[in-house]
Amino acid sequence: MSNEPVEHLIFQLGTNNWQSEEEFAPGSGILHEQHHETFNLMPGVESHSVFPSRTQRFSRPDVRVFELDHDIPICESVSPVSSYRWHSMSDEEFAAYRERLGSFVFSYIEEVEAETKRSFDVFIAHHAFLNPMVMNDVNDRREAAGKARVPLFTFVHGTSLLMFKHEMAAVDPEYPPRFYPAWISEGVFDQVAGVFVISNSQKERFLSVFDSFDPANIFITPNGIDPSVFKQLPLEADSVLAEFETTPYEGSKNQSKQLPGGWDRIVLFVGKFADIKRIDCLLNAAQTYEKVAKDEGLTVATIIAGSGPHESVKLYQDLSDELGLEEVYFIGPHQQDNLAKLYNIASLGVFPTKIEGFGLVFLECLACGTPVVGNAAGGPLEFVDPTVGELVFDHESNQDFTVALAETISRALVEDWKQTKSEAAIERASNYTIEMQCKQILQGIESLT
């Protein structure tokens, strides 16, 4: 923490675990951790945080772990770390979880304020789901104890909005209208001072869910990378590949093996295994771009880093086998240092997600000097242009999108975009750092408090 006099004492409530050797973290958990650490390096700022975990058990002055005996509940059907959905909880289980989390947070905040002899002046709840509700509960308890309410801000992540949109549509039996009506009737966001989103498209999505919220109090704070991790490195591709092994699903006919080297081009995908990520489109496109590359005398490997529920992993690995793709390698989830190595040796990062709230993987890849290809929707529209890659028009059918995706990847590999776009890619990513994002968050807070 900074030794400067404290101007902002911030409490953050995360919705996912942080990264550790024993527990892989999803993007929102990594982002919360980065915000926490970055705030504590800024002059006059002190951050304290709580995050949930089934695995991690530690305590330090600025962080508490909300210990679980089950997976972290999630808003969507697919997560790389959990399949325990909020909708699977009974009303009694949900109420008990809310009460226990609120009491845990309230006690920790009381402890910090007693120790520092200061009151928190900012609460930040990550995600639009339970956390802002819990922080409202904490404020209610503070008020009942004769203390002032603390201005509450919400950093909105995409999965909670997606769940609310499903409930609003009321057509998917997995998402009955249960939580969204409660959030509206309880007026959760009536008690939120400001909202932080990561792109214009996410701002529009938030307002489509909570249309009474004042747009003037929504701040666009684009995601940022950690430039100490994601940067250009002098790496030799074959040496890096030798560090990784394939991860066949349990029961697969395939055996784990070390990644081979000697490739002229490497295509890299990083992300969770979910329908919205459209890994199937990438695999089908691989049939085409492998052939095009071969006709040009080039060898191509496709590396897929990430994970998800067993059935999703099995689905995509089996599809790869069915398509006869011998040079596609599934390597499972990896921490950021390893991903940075892969981004560096890749010729092209391909992220065909249906819609990205922002698209942090694009920036991580660009920061390592590797051009990108993705879908022309959502956050990447704001920072991907022909100087650093290409966004493919999103056709109505996955089949048509796959054809266009394959053509773009083929062209990128044959033209060797990495040789011509690497410098611009690094420059573009330099405009998006986690420090810049935290400064923008503070500016938004100060404008409303």
**Terminal C-alpha separation, the chain:** 23
Nearest residue to 368 via CA among 278, 254, 234: 234
pLDDT in tens, 388-404: 999 999 877 889 999 99
Give the lowest-confidence range in 74-78, 205-209, 370-374, 416-420.
Answer: 74-78
pLDDT value for 345: 98
pLDDT single digits (tens) 192-204: 999 999 988 899 9
Query: Hey, is 122 helix, strand or coil?
Result: strand
- For residue 387, report the phi and psi dihedrals to the nearest 5 degrees: -75, -20
**What pLDDT was estimated at residue 280?**
97
Residue 13 belongs to what H/E stretch?
strand 8-13
Per-residue pLDDT at 121 exceeds 70? yes
Q: Please report the pLDDT score of residue 51 as a whole number.
A: 97
User: What is the residue type of 396?
Assistant: E
Question: Strands 63-67 and 59-60: what pairing?
Answer: antiparallel
The model's pLDDT over 279-335, given as tens digits with 9 standing for 90+, comes to 999 999 999 999 999 999 999 999 999 988 899 999 999 999 999 999 999 999 998
CB atoms within 10 A of CB 420: 11
pLDDT at 79: 62
Residue 5 reports pLDDT greater than 90: no
The whole-angstrom separation of Cα 36 and Cα 1 is 10
In order of start, what are the domains of the chain with their CATH numbers?
Answer: 8-224+433-448 (3.40.50.2000), 237-429 (3.40.50.2000)
Give the model's pLDDT for residue 24: 81
Q: With a cut of 70, say whether residue 3 has pLDDT above it.
A: no
Q: What is the pTM of this model?
A: 0.85
pLDDT at 157: 84
Return the pLDDT at 158.
Answer: 80
Q: How far apart are CA 72 and CA 88, in angstroms?
A: 12
Burial class (CB in 10 A: 0-12, 13-18, 19+), 399: exposed
